[in-house]
Each structure stands twice: as structure tokens, then as C-alpha cells.
Structure 1
Amino acid sequence: MRDILVVLIVFGSLPYIFKRPYIGVLMWVWISVMNPHTQAWGFATSFPFAAIIAGVTMVSLVFTRESKKLPLIPAIWVFIAFVFWMNVTTIFAIYPDLVYGQWNKVMKIMLMTFVTLMLIKTKQHIQLLVLIVVISLGYYGVKGGVFTIIGGGVDRVWGPEGTFIEGNNEIALALVMTIPLMHYLQMIFRSSWVRHGLTVAIVLCAIAALGSYSRGALLALAAMGAFLWLKSRQKFSLGFLMMMVVPPLLAFMPEQWTERMDTINNYEEDGSVQGRFNAWWMAFNLAKDRPFVGGGFEVATRELFSLYAPNVLDLPRAAHSIYFQALGEHGFVGLGLYLLLGFLTWRTGTWIVRNTKNLEEYKWAYSLATLIQVCLIGFATGGAFLSLLYFDVPYYLMAAMVATRMLVEKELKEKASSVIIEKGKGAQPQFGNLSPSQSQRIARDSG
């Protein structure tokens, strides 16, 4: 039954994709993030749904008359450079015979990210993209939260097999990043039933993240909560809410969960943590030896660990860090581009927040930029302990952030052309109810 349902949804969407290519982006995000076929048991588990959707979307992209211009702001130029550099490091990979599978997988994600940037243009598109991400990950959060409650938190929560988020740590971080997006949907939906339902989903996602026994997810939750509190205009209310919700959630978890979290303070005695440190040093030493191109994809081998790891007897393992993964596979140049991409994505959000702060009609954009920044804080913290450099959700959030900035900037420029104020020797634009100084800043930032 599940197989048939997935088939009906995918093939039923194809005519709409031909007519409106952005629907193809939404379907791709649903298939690639949620991987609904993994929840089936029959032929759908191996059916190439993603390839079909991508192919139809690319065809419709070619023939559509809608604007498909890539938004070439600084963040996107760096993203282009990062993707280009991954291809360079693939050419110079230490194991050229082993890298094709991973290269193929990563390039598909990057290609569809470019397609997302080209097709997601309007407020409706952006909010639908966020909604699809929430549905895709929230399914596992609700399911995992119920599982944790029924089982008393004894058994761990795991993600769908064969995906980026199949591990307990990976699904936990994904769910942590979903919580701010759910809160955003609460702010834009008017239905009280939807808002209450999202509140339940948020709580269940938090419980599922705790039920994964992921220490990195706990740190990510703490970092996100602290940032959200600092950015909030209602610090007392938010702080009171956190004090009312967090202690009961922690108290619900069993003793073995508490013992697992306590190992954060005793990391010197934890074999898993020491193994991560060994993998980090291996990546760093490899990058020192090949500073520009690193080792390429697939560097977690016994041979490389025997050459570059401090503890050569430890089993080869993935980098377990987005930063050391970028460093080991793509060298210092790749790491620099990745960090710069994150910084410029953050600055894109800051531009939106600064220029929409006092504009009621752009409250949706202000809230979205702020909450995506909260997501990025969570990913930057939890990703320090996980090999999720190519996890697609952060790239889709980057696309949503860029699309929001482009839309806001375009509309503000249109308003600037219709309302002019005189100041000094020249005329300066006045935007809505903003002061002249704020209007001048928007004009300067918009170029």
C-alpha cells in the first residue's frame, strides 16, 4: 500500500511539474530529504523516483518561460567556487577509482541546489519549500517522539536506512534543525489547529532528538536555545517557557540517557570521542601534506590512517565533523570556501533582518531569516561532530535565504523608485515608514 501511495504521488505530480517547474523542486526536496520510499516494503524501495523527478524538472526548466536567472550574489559565487573546487579535488583524489560513487551523489545534490536557486522566486515558493522540509523531517520527529514516549526513552531513535540521516546522531541533528522551521510555520499559519499541531510536533521532535542519545544534538539544542533567547524581543517570556519545558523533558529520560550525556564531561575516557579526535588529526595531517586539494572523496582508509592518524591502531572512520571532512577531502582551500559560504549565508540573513525590521509587510521575511539563522547555529554546532558536509537540507535553507533576500531587495527597489525625498544636494529614496537614514542604508546595501 505504501509503495502504491508513493508511486501515485510522484507520477501524479509530473504533469504539474511540466506546467510549473518549481513543483519539481518541491518534489525533489521531499524525495531526497524524507526518502518516503524507504518507508515502503516492496518495489518502491529501489525505484528511481529521484531520477525521474529530476529529469522532468530539468526538461521543464529548459522550456519554461518563467525567469530562471541564477541570483549571483556573493554567497552564490562562493557556492559555485566550492562546487568547482570539489570537482578539482576529485581529479587529484588519492583514490580516483573509489570516488565516483560519492562524487556522483554529491554533484546531483549540488545540481538540484542550483535548480532550486533558479526556480524558487516568490514568497509562496519560499514558504512551500520550508513546509516541505518540515513535513519531510517532521514525520520522523513525530514518529520518533511517540516511540520514545511509549518506550520510556530506553531504546534509541534512528533515521531511515540508506540516507544521510540514518544514524542516531544524524537524525537528531536534522530534527533539531527542524524545530525553528516549525516555529516559523506557526507564525505564518492563521489556523489555531495548525498552530497547536505544530506545538505538539515541536515537543515530539525535541523528545525524539533526546531519544537518539546524541550528545551533539544536546549541544546543538543548547546553542540554538541560547541564540534564540538572545535574538528574542520577549526574553522573559521565552526564558520562562524554556524553564517550564526543558526540565520535564530531561527528567523524563531514563538513567542510562543521563549517564550517556555525562560522558561529555569525561571525554578523555570515552572511546567514541577519542576515535573522533583521531579522525580529526588524520584529516588535518593529510591536509598539511596536500594543503590545496586534500585527499578527495573517500579518504577513510586503513592506508591513510596508518600514514596520518596519531593512533594507527584505531579503526579507520569518517571525519565525524563537517569542518574536518571538508579539510581532509578538499584541503584548506575547500575548508575556506565552505566556511566563507556559511558566513555569507549568515550575512544574507543579517541583511534581511536589518532591512525588514520595522516593515510589517515583511514580517514573514524577518522571521524566516532569523529562524534559519537559528537552524544554522544548530547545524554549525552539531555538525562539528558529524560527517554531514553534503547533507542537502542546509543547502536548501541557503537557497531559501538567498531567494528571500532577492525578493525583498527587488520590492524595496521598486518602492524606492516611487517615493523620493530631498536631502542635501541629491535625492534619496524613502522606503515606507522607515527613516531617511534607514532608507539610505537600504539603497546602499541594495547597490
Structure 2
Amino acid sequence: MRDILVALLVFGSLPYIFKKPYFGAVMWVWISVMNLHSQGWGWARSFPFAAIISGVAVLALVTHKGPKKLPLTPVTGTFLAFMLWMCITAIAAIHPEAGYDQWVKVMKIFGMTLVVLMLMKEKEHINAVIGCTVFSLAYYGVKGGIFTIRSGGGDRVWGPAGTFIEGNNEIALALIMIIPLMIYCISLVQNKWAKRGIALSTALCALSALGSYSRGAAIALAAMCLFLWLKSSNKGKTGLAILVLAPAMLMFMPSKWFERVDTVKTYEEDASAMGRINAWKMATNLALDRPLGGGFEVYTPDVFAMYAPEPKDIHAAHSIYFQALGEHGFVGLGLYLLLGFFTWRTGSWNIKHAKPYPDLKWAVHLSTMSQVGLLGFAVGGAFLSLVYFDVPYYIMCALVATQQVVKKELAAKAAAEKAAKSAAAKAAALGADLPLPPDAVQAELEPARVPKRAHS
């Protein structure tokens, strides 16, 4: 039944994608983030739904009469440079054949990210993509929150199998990243019950993140909440909500959760933590020895034997920063950090230039919440190998697209203001040469009347 449902949703959307090309971006985000077909029990698990949607989306983009230009910004330029550099490091990789499949996967993700950006041209498109991203992850967050309540916090929350967010750490970080965007989505709906439903879902997502037992997620959640309060336009209301909800959720968690999180203080005694540090040192030594990095798939016994302090303690990078460093060298890490910097600046530009205009309040709110979510990812990502996770790149696209919309709106406002000033100036100039009113003309023509002198 699930297989049939997914098939109906996908194939039923294809004609609409040709009618409204931006819907292709929405469907791609849905199939790539939610991965609903992976929850099927039969043929749908391996059916190429993603390839079909991406093919139709690209075809709709090409055949549509609208503009097809990629916005040329520092963000897109750095993103393209990062893609090109990964192609170079893949060729010069330690294990080029073993890393080929991963390179293909990453290029598909990044290539479709560019397509999504080209399809997002209006406020409606941006909100649709953001709403789809939020729904796709909140689905698992709500399930995880309910599971945490039912188990009394005794069991860990895991993500959907076979996806980027399969692990407990990964699903937690993904949920932390979208919580601010869920707050933004509350402003998009008018119905009070819909608002309450999104607010409740947000709380369940936060509880699900705690229920993952991820220590990195706990740190990221704390950082995200602090920054959310700092960026909030109503600090009193936001602070009160955090002060009420955070203790309530923490009190719900069992003692073993606190014991797990408390091991952060004694990381030297934790094998998992020390394994991550060993992987970080391996990545650093590898990048120092090979300027191009090791390429994809470097977490192998032979690489650890050459570069790790503990050769037999083999782990994945467990850090977006050391993953970029080990796989793509210092240049790759620099491009990745530069991409984050320019993305952040784009959000700040949106906030600064849209803030004076009430009709652009949505752009300010979206950019602010996007920055809060990205900060959560930057903190939590320090402990996870998620360089190629697509959701941060979709948020990047939303910020760039929002900037383009704001620029267009500001240009229209400037043109309207210029036209109004020009019209006023013309009216003033013409006013100086206008004929006098009839009464005034008559007064000008009549000789001045001199009063008669009285006779004595």
C-alpha cells in the first residue's frame, strides 16, 4: 500500500511540474529529504523515483519560457568552485575507484541543488521549498517525539534507514536545524489551529532530538536556543517559552540520558570520543601530506595505518570540518568554510535591506530563522560527517533566492519612487507657467480704482 501511495504521488505530480516548474524543486526536496519510498516494504524501495523527478524537473526548466539564469553571487560562485575542486580531488584520490560511487552521488546532489536554485524565483516558490523541507523532516521528528513520550525517554530515536539521517546523531541534528524554520512556518498560516499544530510539532521535534541521546545534538540544541533568543524580535516571549519548555523536556528524560550527556566532560575515558579525535588527527596529517586531500572513501585501514596516531582505531571523520579537510585538503576546507560565510552574509544582507519595508517582513523572518538553523548545523556538524547532507544547501538556495526577490522588490520601489518624484517635479514646473484663474486675469486687466477725494 505504501509503495502504491508513493507511486501515485510521484507520477501524479509530473504533469503539474511541467505546468509549474518550481513544483519540480518541491518534489525533488520531498523525495530527497523525506525519502518516503525508503519506508515502503516492496518494489518502491529501489524504484528510481528520484531520477524520474529530477529528469522531469530539468526538462521542465529547459522547456519553460521563463528565465533560466543561475544567480551570479558569491554563494553560487563558491558553490561551483567547491564542486569543481571535489572533481579534482576525486581524480587525485587515494582510492579513486572506490570513491567513484560517492562522487557520483555528491555530484547528483549538488547538481540538483543548482536546479532547485534556478527554479526558485518568487516568494511563493521559496516558501513552498522551505515548507516541504520542514514537513519532510518534521514527519520523523513528530514520530520520534511521540516515541520518546511512549518510551519514557528510555529508548533512542533513530532516523529512516538508508538515508543521510539514519543515525541517531544525524536525525537529531537535522531536526535542530529545522526547528527555527518551523517557527517561520507558523507565520505563513492564518488558521489558529494550524499555528498550534506547527507549534506542537516543533516541541515534539525538540523532544525527539533529546531522545536521540546524541551528545553533539544536546550541545547544538543549546547553542541554537541561545541564538534563537538573541535573534528574536520579541526576546521576552521567546525567552519565556525556552525557560518553560527546556526544563520540562529535560525533567522528562531518564537518568541514563544525563549520564550519557555528562560523558562530554570525561571524553578522555570515552572510546567513541577518542576514536573521533583519532580520525580528526588522521585527516589533519593526511591533508598536510597531500595538498589535494585523500578524495572520497579514505576511512580505510591502509590510510589510517599511514596517518592516524592509532592505526587500528578506524572511524569516519565525525566532523564536517575534518571531513572536508581529509577528503579535499585545506583548499576544500577553505571553500566549504567560505561557502558558509557567504551564505551567512546573504542572510544578513536580506535582513538589513528588507527590514525597513513591512511587505518584506517575511524575508527578514526567513533569513533570521535560516541563520539560526545554520548555526545549529555548524555547531552540531563539528561532531558528524555531513558535508554532503542536502538540507543545508537547500537553506542556502532559499537565502540566495530571497536575496534576488528582495533586490527585485527594492528595484521596483526605487523605480516607483523615482517616477513619483519625476511626476512631482513636472507638476511643480508646469505649475509655474499655468494661466492665472479667470478672476485673477480680470483683476489684472481692470485699471486701478483711485478713490475720489472728498470736496470741502
How is 1:2-401 mapped onto 2 (pairs within 5 angstroms)? 2-291=2-291, 293-314=292-313, 316-401=314-399
| CA deviation string 1:289-329 (max 9, x = no partner) | 012x1000000000010110111131x22100000000000
One-letter amino acid of the counterpart of residue 328, structure 1? G
Task: Report the 3-state secondary structure (helix = DSSP H, G, I; strand = E; otherwise coil) of the residue aligned with 1:188.
Answer: coil
Distance 1:118 1:139 in 2: 27
| CA deviation string 1:316-351 (max 9, x = no partner) | 221000000000000000000000000000000000
Q: Is the 8 A contact 2:263 2:270 kept in 1?
A: yes
One-letter amino acid of the counterpart of residue 301, structure 2? R
Q: CA deviation at 1:286?
A: 0.1
Q: Is the 8 A contact 2:216 2:380 kept in 1?
A: yes
One-letter amino acid of the counterpart of residue 11, structure 1? F
Runs of 4+ in 1 over 4 A off after TM superposition: none
TM-score where L is the length of structure 2: 0.91
Distance 2:15 2:235 in 1: 48
Q: CA deviation at 1:420?
A: 3.7
Q: CA deviation at 1:105?
A: 0.5
Task: Report the 3-state secondary structure (helix = DSSP H, G, I; strand = E; otherwise coil) of the residue aligned with 1:245.
Answer: helix
TM-score where L is the length of structure 1: 0.93
Unaligned runs of 5+ in 1: 428-447
Q: What RMSD over aligned residues (CA atoms) do the two structures have, in Å?
A: 1.4
Q: Could you tell me the percent identity over the aligned residues?
A: 61
Deviates more, 1:182-191 or 1:227-236: 227-236
Q: 1:224 to 1:421 in 2, by over 3 A?
A: farther
Q: CA deviation at 1:96?
A: 1.1
Task: Report the 3-state secondary structure (helix = DSSP H, G, I; strand = E; otherwise coil) of the residue aligned with 2:187.
Answer: helix
Distance 1:67 1:283 in 2: 43
Task: Report the 3-state secondary structure (helix = DSSP H, G, I; strand = E; otherwise coil) of the residue aligned with 2:315.
Answer: coil
Q: CA deviation at 1:34?
A: 0.4
Q: CA deviation at 1:234?
A: 2.2
Q: 1:269 to 1:131 in 2, by over 3 A?
A: same
Q: Is the 8 A contact 2:301 2:312 kept in 1?
A: no
| CA deviation string 1:202-224 (max 9, x = no partner) | 11101110000001111111111
Distance 2:149 2:297 in 1: 38
One-letter amino acid of the counterpart of residue 162, structure 1? G
Q: 1:51 to 1:422 in 2, by over 3 A?
A: closer
Distance 1:240 1:20 in 2: 42
Q: CA deviation at 1:356?
A: 1.4
> Aligned residue pairs: how many?
422
Distance 1:406 1:310 in 2: 48
| CA deviation string 1:335-372 (max 9, x = no partner) | 00000000000000000001112211001000000000
State the partner residue of 1:440: none
Distance 2:188 2:102 in 1: 38
Q: CA deviation at 1:417?
A: 2.0
Distance 1:401 1:249 in 2: 32
One-letter amino acid of the counterpart of residue 311, structure 2? V
Q: Is the 8 A contact 2:82 2:336 kept in 1?
A: yes
Q: 1:9 to 1:350 in 2, by over 3 A?
A: same
Task: Report the 3-state secondary structure (helix = DSSP H, G, I; strand = E; otherwise coil) of the residue aligned with 1:419.
Answer: helix
| CA deviation string 1:371-426 (max 9, x = no partner) | 00001100000000000000000000000000000010111012112214999xxx
